[in-house]
């Protein structure tokens, strides 16, 4: 099985992509990271979020750094092989936003 490392995004490539992810914080730490904390209704919803994202992350072979305490999930994304942020990180951040939004919509029903 071969896998190719996606290229690290340049600042010029990154800026318009980050504008589409307003809840995420970008840091230059470790070559570039994206971080966000998600807050859910309860532990079960937080765990459901992590479970849904984990299935996709495993298929994409791109795994978040994350931790969970009760209804909160803290996430950091980076592409270790690229020494910074790649399109894999942007795609996973978008997916996480979509999953969290869908779960929040269920809670309101």
Domains of the chain: 21-108 (3.30.1360.20)
pTM of the model: 0.91
Q: What confidence tens digit (pLDDT) does each residue in 59-83 have?
A: 999 999 999 999 999 999 999 999 9
103 contact partners, CB below 8 Å, separation of at least 6: 40, 45, 48, 49
Rounded Cα distance between 30 and 8, Å, is: 12
Give me 88's structure tokens.
């894999």
Residue 107 has pLDDT above 70, yes or no: no
């Amino acid at each position: 099985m071969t896998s190719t490392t996606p290229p690290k995004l340049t600042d010029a490539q990154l800026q318009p992509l980050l504008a589409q992810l307003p809840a995420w914080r970008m840091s230059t730490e470790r070559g570039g990271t994206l971080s966000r904390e998600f807050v859910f209704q309860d532990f079960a919803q937080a765990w459901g979020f992590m479970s849904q994202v984990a299935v996709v992350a495993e298929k994409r072979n791109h795994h978040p750094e994350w931790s969970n305490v009760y209804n909160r999930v803290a996430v950091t994304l980076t592409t270790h092989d690229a020494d910074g942020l790649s399109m894999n990180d942007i795609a996973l951040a978008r997916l996480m936003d979509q999953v969290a939004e869908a779960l929040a919509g269920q809670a309101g029903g």
